[in-house]
Structures are given as structure tokens and as C-alpha cells.
Amino acid sequence: MVFNVAQVARTYRSNALWHSNEEIWKRRGGLFLPPGTPSSEEKARSANVLPWTGSSPFDRFARESTYAIAAILQTAVQVKRAVRKLQSHTQASAVDRRIALSSDAAVVTASAAPGAAIRSYRIRIERAASAQYNEGTALPAQAVTTIAAGSNQMKLSCEGRSAPFSIYVVRTDTNRHVLQKIRAAIRQTGLPVEAALHEDAEADTVKLKVACSQTGSGRSFAIADVYGTAARSAGILAVTQPGTDALYRIDDGKTVRSESNRVTLDGGRLTLTLHRGSDTDVTVNVVPDEIEARQELQQLALRFNELSAAISQANRYLNTLRVHRVLEEAVHLGLETALRPLPEPEPLPLPELEPLSEPDLLSEEPPAEKPQPLTSSPWDGIGLRQYADGTVEVDEAALDLMLASRFDQWRSSLRADEGPTRVLVGALNRLLALPAEELLDRRKAAYQAFASYGFRPWGSLRTYLPLPLAGTLVNRQF
């Protein structure tokens, strides 16, 4: 249930603590206003700040306890997201991403889709596929054309289709103007044929080149004059180079003929692009995206450490026994240190202070020693090192070895039902399913100091807060 601010205000007023501070709340400008009418203080505060800023003991308890519980819930969701990026069988999964590396990119390049098999390919390319093209005659660019003035009609045939096209030549047109008109007319036919002008600035000549947009011996075109001599004069009637098929061999297989230079392997997950023939083999290696996998694993370690810190910092309010039971299957992953109950602080007498000498004033505290790594932990199988305080970090040497030579084993450990990530997510799902108020320990002094008491119909005593730890109060943080 989502409690709005007005409902929370009515709950507050039912407690004696509210009545004793009511005038103070009013003088603050009335923090509890109907939805849609925020006060000036609310406008100035960040959206992540809770709707009270009082300094009374109850204010501090309500604010700190809600922040503490919300931090646990928020970091639990972030841990699940980090695990999902490693485990999911989608393009977003860092585990499934691949990189294809070619030993000679001038001969062949490759791209790998997520989930491509991790292996090497030896490729021998006898020749790459080429497209037919007709290269025209180099004509003086500025000279007046010799093509007869008036309408000149031509026909373009390609792949069983024909399209007529024409140009109108003016008596004063230069060769450049006429070839530009032919180029524009060919492009307007809509057939898979490309036309381009090639100019030689030193010789001041220009020529027209017409090429098929697809490679292969089965892809051809023809140009013919219907009326006039425009195509013959431009020199684009004859085939300069016919289309050819690519010839290549994968590993020790047979020679394969292909009309296209794009070759797909591994069920379409690996695409090769052939550029030219070669007398030597080219090696294409499909490898995991190590950079992405490492970053996602580092993100998981960071989020797990944040969850452990959030649980530890909430110990003053947290029902550690309840949380321990919910996270029982995942406690061995390093959360037992964070769940260790903290002793209630006791006031200590203040010692008499002695004046400090100048060296004492300038001295700095030594940095805290880093905890020692554990000899073994459940995280070892996925490349994480765990320390005595429960925190984890990426074991660079172990992860490099796993990604290079034991990738399948590393991936299986990440996705195994009994693996640390699956166990952790299952425990967090149970934690997130709990009502937020069940995470508070009602037996702790911090809770009892502000709890209200009431008797059930059968006579047993119950405690409750005058403030529901749900709805707006938690939702604005979580």
C-alpha cells in the first residue's frame, strides 16, 4: 500500500510525541501538505530527501532508520541488476558478447554476434567476388560534345528487368554536362546499377563508369542506344570487367564459390567480409569480450560490497536474525560479517584531556590495514577474491586465465544453479519480498525508545511505530 503524505500526517497526530511537537512543525511552515502543493522547503530539497528535516530524537530515528532500510533494499536491487547482465542469454549479457580478430584485415575482416562459438578459423581466399562494370572513354571535359543535339534515348537491362532512360542534349553542352545528364538518368531508373564520374584534373578529362551494385557472375547489366548515340559516344556499351564469384576455403574444407563477399558461419553468428585474394592463410579468432566481461564483474563486486556495507550500517535498527534467516543460503558468500549484531553503545566517562604538543597536532593517523584475502571462497570460481571482512574484488590474474583458457567453465560457474550468483539472487528475492517494517528489530533500544504500545484483544502486548515504514516514506528513497 502506498501512503500519501496526508495519511502519514494523520498517523503522526495519533501519537503523543506528535502533540508535544505540533507547534514546532507548524512554525516550520507545515511540512505535511496535501499532494500537489509542496512547500518552499520541499521545493528546495532534493527528490531523494525524506519529507522531514526535524532535529528531535524521533525525527532522527525516523530519518536514519528509513534511510538504512531503503539503502539495503536499493543495493539489493542493484546487485540483482549486475548479476542479470552477466547471466542473461541476451545481447546485453557481457558473458555472451564476442570479438572477431583477423590476422590480416586487408584480406578479410570479421564480426561476431553474441553467443558465437569461441574458436579459430583458417581462411584461404583465392579471389574475392567482384561486380561488373563498364568504364567509358576519357573525354575532354571542357570540349563541346560531339553527340547530336536533341533527345537521346537508351535502355538499361539488369537481372531480367529493363528500364528506358533519355537525356536532352543542347548544342552548347560540354562533355562534362552530357555525362552528368547520363549519370542522373541512370540513377533514376531504380535498377541496382551505380553510375559515377571520374575526372582527371591534370589531363582535364572526364569519363563515366557504370557498375553493378552487387557482386557475382550472375549479376550483370547491359546498356544500349535506342535513339541517338549518347551511350556509344560515352563509351559505356562494352563490358570492361564482368562480375566474378569469390573462391575461398575454410580450414581444410573444399573450395567454396560465392557470389557475395559476405560469408556467414556458425549459424549466422560469424560474418566474414572478403576483400582480396591471398597466397597465405588468414586466421580469424573469435574470443570473449574480455573488457566488457571484466567491467561487469567489477560492477558486481562493487554492488555486493555496497550491499554488505548497507547491512552493516543498518545494524543499529536491523532485525539481523530475521534477515539472517532470509539470506541463510547466501550468508556464506560474505554477508555473515555484515549481519553480525553490533553491541549497543554504552556511555563512557570522558577522560581528562592533556594539552597536545606541536608534533602531536601535526601527526596523522596511520591508514587502516587492508584485510587479508581468504585462501578459498565461493567466489573463486568466477574470478573474484574475497577478504576476511566479506568484501570481494576482481582477481585479475585468475580472471585472465579463466577468460583465456577456461571460458566455458567460467561461464558455467556464473550460471550454475548452485553457483554464488544464482544463490545470491534467490536470497535477495526473498529479502525484497518482505514488508519493510519486518526488517526493523523491535527489541533494540533505538526502536523501543519511540515505539507505541497497545494490547491485543487476547491480552498480549504489541509494539508499533506511529509512522508506517512503507509507501511514500520508503518509496521516495527506494
Share of the chain above pLDDT 70, in %: 73
Please list, residue by residue across 127-150, b when 16 or more beta carbons sit within 10 angstroms of its beta carbon and e when fewer do.
ebbbbbbbbbebbebeeebebeee
Statement: residue 391 has pLDDT above 50: yes
More confident residue, 411 or 177: 177
More confident residue, 34 or 319: 319
d(CA 377, CA 474): 34
d(CA 52, CA 12): 12
The 3 state secondary structure assigned to the chain is CCCCHHHHHHHHHCCHHHHHHHHHHHHCCCCCCCCCCCCHHHHHCCCCCCCCCCCCHHHHHHHHHHHHHHHHHHHHHHHHHHHHHHHCCCCCCCCCCEEEEECCCCCEEEEECCCCCCCEEEEEEEECCECCEEECCCEECCCECCCCCEEEEEEEEECCEEEEEEEEECCCCEHHHHHHHHHHHHHCCCCCEEEEEEEECCCCEEEEEEEECCCCCCCCEEEEEEECCHHHHHCCCCCCECCECEEEEECCCCCEEECCCEEEEHHHCEEEEECCCCCCCEEEEEEECHHHHHHHHHHHHHHHHHHHHHHHHCCCCECHHHHHHHCHHHHHHCCCCCCCCCCCCCCCCCCCCCCCCHHHHHCCCCCCCCCCECCCCHHHHHCEEEECCCCEEECHHHHHHHHHHCHHHHHHHHHCCCCHHHHHHHHHHHHHHCCHHHHECCCCHHHHCCCEEEECCCCCEEEECCCCCCCHHHHCCC
Against a cut of 0.85, is the pTM above it? no
Taking only the tens place, the pLDDT of each residue in 295-339 is: 999 999 999 999 999 988 888 888 888 888 888 888 888 888 777
Taking only the tens place, the pLDDT of each residue in 98-119 is: 999 999 999 999 999 988 999 9
Residue 106 CB burial class (10 angstroms; 0-12, 13-18, ≥19): exposed
Query: Residue ranges of the domains in the chain?
Result: 1-41, 98-129+245-288, 133-234
Taking only the tens place, the pLDDT of each residue in 141-160 is: 999 999 989 999 999 999 88
Taking only the tens place, the pLDDT of each residue in 371-389 is: 788 888 899 999 999 998 8
Residues 6+ apart with CB under 8 A from 365: none
Taking only the tens place, the pLDDT of each residue in 350-363 is: 455 555 455 544 45
Angle, helix 290-313 to helix 57-87, in steps of 10 degrees: 160
Looking at the domain 133-234, which fold is it?
A: Immunoglobulin-like (2.60.40)
Hey, what's the torsion of the CAs at 261, 266, 267, 270, to 10 degrees? Answer: -50
Answer yes or no: are the C-beta atoms of 472 and 66 closer than 8 Å: no
Contacts by 58-64, CB closer than 8 A, 24 or more apart: 58/17, 58/21, 58/450, 61/446, 61/449, 61/450, 62/450, 62/465, 62/467, 62/473, 64/316, 64/317
Taking only the tens place, the pLDDT of each residue in 219-245 is: 999 999 999 999 999 999 999 999 999
Query: Could you tell me the pLDDT band of residue 27, with boundaries at 50, 70 and 90?
Result: low
Query: Could you tell me the pLDDT band of residue 176, with boundaries at 50, 70 and 90?
Result: very high
Other CB atoms within 10 A of residue 182 CB: 27
Cell of 293: 566481461
pLDDT of residue 96: 85
d(CA 22, CA 15): 11
pLDDT of residue 450: 55
